[in-house]
Structure 1
Amino acid sequence: MPPEPTSQASRCFAFERDLIGNWRCIPLCLRRKLDLAGIKLRLSHWLTLDQAQRQELVLWPDGPDDLRAMAVHIRALTRPMAEGEARDLPPVFAEPWQGAAAPPEPVLQAAAALGKPLSLAEWHGLGELERFALCKLARPGHDHHNLPAALLEVLD
């Protein structure tokens, strides 16, 4: 049974609205599950999947057993693809978005630059998916075009 649409397993942010339905990019809720499952699904893999397969992955639950099953499923889906099978990565552990005592410096700097300083209490009040989104979008070397919208959405 798929999770409720508002759960962190399948919740898409308002700033991702243009992705919903066509799934031309991997939404952050699935990126989080991929990190937790320890599997690298490339955009080329994602775009080779049909619409129903993409939707299934977005709606996939995020419990530990579910994530292991999702990794097996993704490897099976991608095995015959031209890019080859999705590869394994070490599952994430103790990342800042997984409950760190304080937000990472790039997130603090981005929030301050937007005039929305992020307090420790606000950071702890965010859900794991929200912290994940801010950390991913604020990381060095990432295209930050969605970061202001993400900050406004999660901090308002």
Structure 2
Amino acid sequence: MLFDFESDFAGSLRCIPMIVRMKLDLCGIKLTLRQWSRFTHEDRAALVDKPGETPTEQAAYRQHVLELVQSRSDEPARFLPPESHESWQQPDQMPDDIAQQAGADDISPPTDTQWANLSPLQRFALIKLARSKHENENFVPAMKEFGLLPS
């Protein structure tokens, strides 16, 4: 699943889409844009489509990414601690980063009910967009896309 706010760069898979970023966080791999760019379009599309929700799927996803990095990149793989119970997985508690970014953009943050009704991927995207210095221009478009603001 690619979001509309990603369409200018994710449609071509030139940049790492949110769905892949979430799966990478879950399996504990930090993939650089340079490494991503070394993958073929088919490799990238497979990483979008490959499941990564259950522990078994995450282990398979991790192994697949590590094989791609080793075969296509001249950089070693970098690791993160696997995410568990991260804020995007908590529908009952919106992180402060969201309210802060909404305030910076002069918009209302999601209500508790709106936050709870978002999918985990939508919550993940908003948190990443709120925390990113170079991508937060997509925060407001994402809020609109997710039905949290008028279009």
Is the 8 Å Cα contact of residues 106 and 140 (structure 1) preserved in structure 2?
no
**Residue matched to 1:92:** 83
Secondary structure of the residue that 1:146 maps to in structure 2? Answer: helix
**SS of 2:136 mapped into structure 1:** coil
Aligned pair count reads 145
Counterpart of 2:65? 74
Report the secondary structure of 1:103's partner residue.
coil
- Mapped contact 2:93–2:112 kept (Cα < 8 A): yes
Q: Give the C-alpha shift of residue 142 in structure 1.
A: 4.7
Give yes or no for the alignment of 1:101 onto 2:92.
yes
Name the CA distance, whole Å, in 1 between partners of 2:135 and 2:114: 24
In the TM superposition, residue 77 of structure 1 has moved relative to its aligned partner by 1.3
* Unaligned runs of at least 5 residues, structure 1: 1-10
Unaligned runs of 5+ in 2: none
RMSD: 1.7
The equivalent of 2:14 in structure 1 is 24
Preserved CA contact (<8 Å) 2:91 2:117: no
2:41 is aligned with 1:51:
yes
Q: Could you give the per-residue CA deviations for residues 124-151 of structure 1, whole angstroms, max 9, x where no partner exists? A: 1111000000001101645311111111
Give the AA of the match of 2:6: E
Kindly report structure 1 stretches of 4+ aligned residues shifted beyond 4 Å.
Answer: none
Q: 1:89 to 1:125 in 2, by over 3 A?
A: same
Alpha-carbon distance in 2 for matches of 1:52, 1:143: 25
Contact kept, 8 Å, 1:35 with 1:92, in 2: the verdict is yes
Q: Give the conservation status (yes or no) of the 8 Å contact 2:2–2:18.
A: yes
Query: Once the 2 structures are TM-superposed, how far is the Cα of residue 87 of structure 1 from its aligned partner?
Result: 2.1
Contact 2:28 2:79 in 1 (8 A): yes
Name the residue aligned to 1:151: 143
Q: What TM-score comes out, normalization by structure 2 length?
A: 0.87
Partner residue of 2:131 out of 131, 134, 139: 139
User: Shift of residue 100 of structure 1?
Assistant: 5.0
- Does the 8 A contact of 2:31 with 2:78 survive in 1? yes
Instruction: Give the residue type in structure 1 aligned to 2:12.
Output: N
Give the TM-score of the pair, scaled to structure 1.
Answer: 0.84
